[in-house]
Amino acid sequence: QVQLVESGGGLVQPGNSLRLSCAASGRSFVRNTVAWFRQAPGKERNFVAAINWGASNTRYADSVKGRFTISRVNANNTVSLQMNSLKPEDTAVYYCASRPSGYYDISNDKRLYSYWGQGTQVTVSA
């Protein structure tokens, strides 16, 4: 069992940056793919970014490519999401998720993820 806790959300103005963190406890997620998803009010939970357990592969939603960067430090059991040039449409609750996987896996399918955090709110507004 893996417990995930997100942190770093908040209110920012458009164009500014935030860095989200996801910390794992209970069991290491070293051999897990880790991803970020987000859910805006009244909308489905959508994929944002994923990273394989070796940190050699990453995947991003088209809407965040070039602005967001996912990274991980397995020694610390943490995964981060650096979000730059934030837009109002980035406003959502952001969730960290993980799943045991093969080395190269960077799935964007939320149905495949076993463990989820409670989410952290990101609001981008002037």
Q: pLDDT of 18-35, one tens digit each?
A: 999 999 987 777 889 999
Residue 26, pLDDT score: 79
| Residues 50 and 70: beta-carbon distance below 8 Å | yes
* CA pair distance 16, 121, nearest whole angstrom: 16
In the chain, how long is the greatest CA-to-CA distance? 42
- Residues 45-85 have pLDDT tens digits of 999 999 999 999 999 999 999 999 999 998 899 999 999 99
Q: Provide the pairing of β-strand 120-124 with 10-12.
A: parallel
